Amino acid sequence: MQFSFDSFVLAACTADLSDATDPAVEEHADAVEFRMDLAASDPESALDAYDADVPLVATNRAAWEGGDCDDGDDERLATLERAAERDAVAAVDIELDSLLTPRGETAAERVRESGASVVASFHDFEGTPASSELRAKLHRAATVGDVGKVAVTATDDHDALRLLDATNAATTWGDTVATMAMGEAGRHTRAVAPVYGSKIGYAPVQPADATAPGQYALETLSRLVGELERKPDT
């Protein structure tokens, strides 16, 4: 199973794969992002036991990128390679900085050989880069991954607008990207970015267990994206 990201994918985020049977997931989500680094028990055993129909995006977020996995890159990436071998895993999220190393390039090749897509991700928890840097990051991520994901932190409307402009530019160039601005000032971008070409949105299965600042509840984000995508009557 593999995502082509030709259309928008709404991913329900969780560290507990039993959440995949939640009615909200079955009704609103296209995928489940499994945060392996946040799992309370062995995440690989959880993958082995997974039998829901919703495809998975496997994420094992490094501590240096805001996650809880403090394994070395070799071990962390090897875990993601093994995750990709499961039929239910349609995509694997790998940090852009890792993908720019020889070990990361090997991991991406092995993930694709297993039939999964690669989400190349970059997170800025301090702010929003300048427009030129933001566009360069998006293009680089989209080049090494099947989709380039950039999540920044917005402190005001100008940051949010800069992200949306970069999203539109990347899409116009033909890059496949996923973008969002974390924090209250950028929260609306999670619903609006798909209008400008963003291909992935994230929302927690359980609102109290949000995995990033400013996430909407799953049902709410599904409704907002759906309403904004709806074409007006003519």
Q: Which residues are known to be catalytic?
A: 123, 149
35 known ligand binder:
yes
Task: Reduce the DSSP state of residue 212 to 3 states and report it.
Answer: coil
Q: Is 126 exposed, middle or buried (0-12, 13-18, 19+ CB in 10 A)?
A: exposed
81 known ligand binder:
no
Going 37 to 71 to 5 to 56, the CA torsion angle's sign is: negative
187 known ligand binder:
no
190 known ligand binder:
yes
76 known ligand binder:
no
211 known ligand binder:
yes
Quick one: CA torsion of 204, 207, 212, 213, rounded to 10 degrees? 150
Going 212 to 213 to 217 to 223, the CA torsion angle's sign is: negative
Angle at 228 between CA 223 and CA 230, to 5 degrees: 95
Q: Please give the Cα distance from 177 to 198 (Å, whole number).
A: 5
Cite the annotated binding site by residue number.
Answer: 33-35, 61, 190, 211, 215
Cite the annotated binding site for 3-dehydroquinate by residue number.
Answer: 33-35, 61, 190, 211, 215
